[in-house]
Amino acid sequence: MPRYFTDEHEWIDVEGDTATVGITDYAQGQLGDIVFVELPRVGSEVARGKDAAVVESVKAASDVYAPITGEVTEANGALEDDPALVNSSPEDQGWFFKLTIANKSELDGLMDAAAYKSFCDSL
């Protein structure tokens, strides 16, 4: 299944009409120790580029934007008990939410792993 990346340091796994969204290893490293993740409600609509989640580190609260538009179908309940999963397994067990993709054309122009890596190297 293809994985896409945004310049806001989110990753998106696409499987048919469903996408799984999380933040990248680079992002968790920048945020530091994560103590709480506020996830969107199941059934809510998130819009590309708009607030979808909030990550609280020891230091500060940071918004996470929805990389694409869609309806949230599942939120990662494991983060409630163990928000540090975002630090230890950001691109696997620390996923944030799943959504039904509203408009597949929004995936155009997102980065693949190689492009994202060189994007991070340039920062």
Partner 1 sequence: MSDDNDSEFEAETATLPLDGWHRGKGARMVEFAGYWMPVQYEGIVAEHLWTRAHAGLFDVSHMGQLEVSGEAAEAALEAVLPIDLSTLKPGRQRYSLLLDESGGVLDDLMVTNAAHRFYLVVNGATKWDDIAHLREHLPDEITLTHLEDDALLALQGPEAARALARLGLDPVNDGWPRVEEMVFMQAGPFSWNGVPLRVSRSGYTGEDGYEISVPAARVETLAEALCAQPEVQPIGLGARDSLRLEAGLPLYGHDLSREISPIEAGLTFGINKRRRGEGGFAGADRIQRELAEGTARKSVGLTLEGRLPAREGAEVYAGDAKVGRVTSGGFSPTLGHPIAMAIVDSAHSAEGTPLVVDVRGKRLSAAVAPMPFVPHNYFRGDR
Q: Point out which span in 7-15, 34-42, 90-98, 99-107 binds partner 1 (CB under 8 A).
A: 34-42
Binding mask 41-80 toward partner 1 (x if CB under 8 A, else -) reads: -------------x-xxxxxx-------------------
114 binds partner 1 (CB under 8 A): no
Nearer to partner 1, 105 or 122 (CB): 122
DSSP string, 65-114: EBSS-EEEEEE-THHHH-TTHHHHSTTTTT--EEEEES-GGGGTT-B-HH
Asked whether 113 and 3 are in contact (CB, 8 A), the reply is: yes
Is there binding between residue 35 and partner 1 (CB under 8 A)? yes
Q: How far apart are CA 95 and CA 23, in angstroms?
A: 7
Interface residues toward partner 1, by CB under 8 A:
32-33, 35-36, 38, 54, 56-61, 83
